[in-house]
Structure 1
Amino acid sequence: MSVGAFLITFREALEAAIIVAIIIAYLRRTGRERQIKDVWIGTALSIGVSALLGIGILKFYGGLGEKELFEGIASYLAVIVLTSMIYWMATKGRNIKAEIESKVSQTIAPLALIGFTFIVVFREGLETVLFLTPFMTQSPGGTLLGLAAGLAGALLLAYLIYGVGMRINLRKFFYYSSILLVFVAAGLAGYGTHELIEWGEEEGFSLGVLEETAYDLGIPSDSLWHHNGAVGSVFAVLFGYSTSMEWGRVIVQFGYLIVALYLVLRAYGKEPSMRPKKARSRSAS
């Protein structure tokens, strides 16, 4: 199972489930229970279109001869969208409930509510498809397992929160998961750079020092610790680990990691305090 696919799908599916739960809870609170079916229609349509989009992208990929070029571009695109999603959640996500309820209060007609639900859920589906494309090109079976496990985990957690009433600090959850996703995105940026370097070499482009080997750990390909091995592959997905890297990959991967971590930590301000507000107010007085 692809750990990266699981983490990304879990995060995206949980966001979608939270959005749907907020809409349904608002409709019930305002006496609009009859429109809940419109929410489910919009959700089903968004899931169906996202699945068709994913199939279409994979078929398009299968028809391409230049595998390295596609994987490099797909990885870069996933990094761009993943970064924007992480930063948006850090800066704007704290007001997501108020924003959604405000939009739903203005959305009265059934088709309008279906369309609104479709758009907000499809955004998560589109992001998931773009994120998982690089993983699908590397390990289709493992990615599908990660996708299924991520969906199941997200739906279970959403049910425990909104169905059973389990208390969880979503702000802290998104904070720590965002940091982990930054490492995943950095690994994707490095992998995409590696693929583009290989494509450039095949096409006869010379990148000079950027295509030269920065380091080589000398770990054999059949070792558990190789980036394709049982243990190394987990670190490769989560942290961008590789037994050897070109200078171009090192610069892009670790440069992205430093900048993205700085922006995310600054957006959240600081690590969420584990102390309750009352305790802080007493200590301040």
Structure 2
Amino acid sequence: MLNALIVVWRESLEAMLVIGVLLAWIARQPEPAPLRRGLWAGAAGGLLLAALLGAATFLVQSELQGEALEIFQIVMVFVAAALIVQMVLWMRKHGRGMRRELERQAGQASGALGVGLVTAFAVAREGAETVVFLYGLGLESGGGALLANAGAAATGFVLAAATAWLIARGSRLLSYRTLFAISEVLLLLIAASLLAGGIDRMIGMDWIPPLLDPVWDSSALLDDGSGIGRVLADFLGYRARPSASVLIGYLVFWSLTLWALWRTGRRPAAA
């Protein structure tokens, strides 16, 4: 549930900041009214595209059975984890110049239609990522947590709106860079948790060997089936009885991710 809240908060905040940047740009134009209508029409169109993706995802799932369904779900879990990492890396690389890039795209767009398309693409991208993330998180949480995840997603959206409003007001309590730096860490922890869940599913299907299972047993100290242990399992991918395959997956994930973050952080300095 916490994972869904964080993901929706981050994705919704990005979309709202994009809209805020474009609204500020529109306010400086000679005839802002039609451009503003085009922006809101584009935002609605982007949300519609994301909703259609969500409907298509569940339609595909309903048509699959047995091993085909399991393959689809495992692939979606890994895609969600990969998208989270890609999103963090993309924002690291382009976040500082995102305002200038959006204004450039809006300036090159042809009137209200062009601004609407720029907005629709930005909102649809964030919405599509959210759909994939929530689907992957829902699979890891189980069907019984669907209502709780929906409530967490709604809460995340409300918190994103409040955060965007405070940033727009120039609140000294909130720093855009600090918020996104903290959210980067949280999102990468969620991605690692999704990865662990996907590997566990593959082991359960006998697609990969556990190698050594378990490597240790800490269930007497902190069980991952209930209480704090369950929260850590959902949020951090904690395993009281981890297999060697899961631990290797963790090692590879964090090694590659930290290397990519280091490399992305060096590029502006090198340039």
TM-score per shorter chain, which class? 0.7 to 0.9
Secondary structure of the residue that 2:191 maps to in structure 1? helix
Percent of aligned pairs with the same residue?
Answer: 25
Give deviations 1:145-193, integer Å, cap 9, x for gaps.
Answer: 221111110011112222x332432122212211221111111111111
Query: What are the residue-to-residue correspondences of 1:81-160 with 2, within 5 Å?
Result: 81-137=83-139, 138=142, 139-160=145-166
| 2:66 pairs with 1:61 | no
Structure 1 stretches of at least 4 aligned residues deviating more than 4 Å after TM superposition: none
Report the TM-score when normalising by structure 2.
0.87
CA distance in 1, matches of 2:90, 2:8: 17
Q: How many residues align?
A: 258
Tell me whether 1:259 sits opposite 2:265 in the alignment: no
Matched, 1:47 2:47: yes
Q: Would you say the 8 A contact 2:36–2:112 is kept in 1?
A: no
2:243 to 243, 246, 258: 246
Structure 2 residue aligned with 1:193, among 199, 205, 227? 199
TM norm structure 1:
0.83
- Indicate if the aligned counterparts of 1:214 and 1:244 stay in contact, CA closer than 8 A: yes
Q: Deviations over 1:197-236 (max 9, x none)?
A: 212x2xxx5x44x45414352638xx9x533423223212
Per the TM alignment, residue 240 of structure 1 is displaced from its structure 2 partner at its CA by 1.1
Q: Which stretches in structure 2 are left out of the alignment for 5+ residues?
A: 267-271
Q: Deviations over 1:65-109 (max 9, x none)?
A: 235433321111111211111001111111100100111111132
Verify the 8 A CA contact 1:90 1:175 in the aligned structure 2. no
- Counterparts of 1:43 and 1:143 in 2: how far apart (Å)? 24
Computed over aligned residues only, the root mean square deviation of the Cα atoms, in angstroms, reads 2.1
Deviation at 1:265, TM superposition (A): 4.6
Aligned partner of residue 96 in structure 2, secondary structure? helix
SS of the counterpart of 1:213?
Answer: coil
Q: Are 1:166 and 2:171 an aligned pair?
A: yes
Q: Is the 8 A contact 1:74 1:192 kept in 2?
A: no
Please tell me whether the aligned partners of residues 71 and 195 of structure 1 are also in contact (alpha carbons under 8 angstroms).
no
Task: Work out which of the residue numbers 162, 165, 183 in structure 2 matches 1:177.
Answer: 183
| 1:41-60 deviation digits (Å, cap 9, x = unpaired) | 11111112212321321232
Cα separation, partners in 2 of 1:227 and 1:145, compared to 1, 3 Å: farther
- C-alpha contact (below 8 Å) 2:106/2:114 kept by paired residues: no
Closer, same or farther: CA 53–226 of 1 in aligned 2, 3 Å: farther
Shift of 1:266: 4.8
Q: Out of 235, 246, 249, which is 2:232 matched to?
A: 235
- In the alignment, structure 1 segments of 5+ residues that lack a partner are 270-285
Q: Which of 19-28 and 251-260 deviates more?
A: 251-260
- Matched residue, 1:274: none
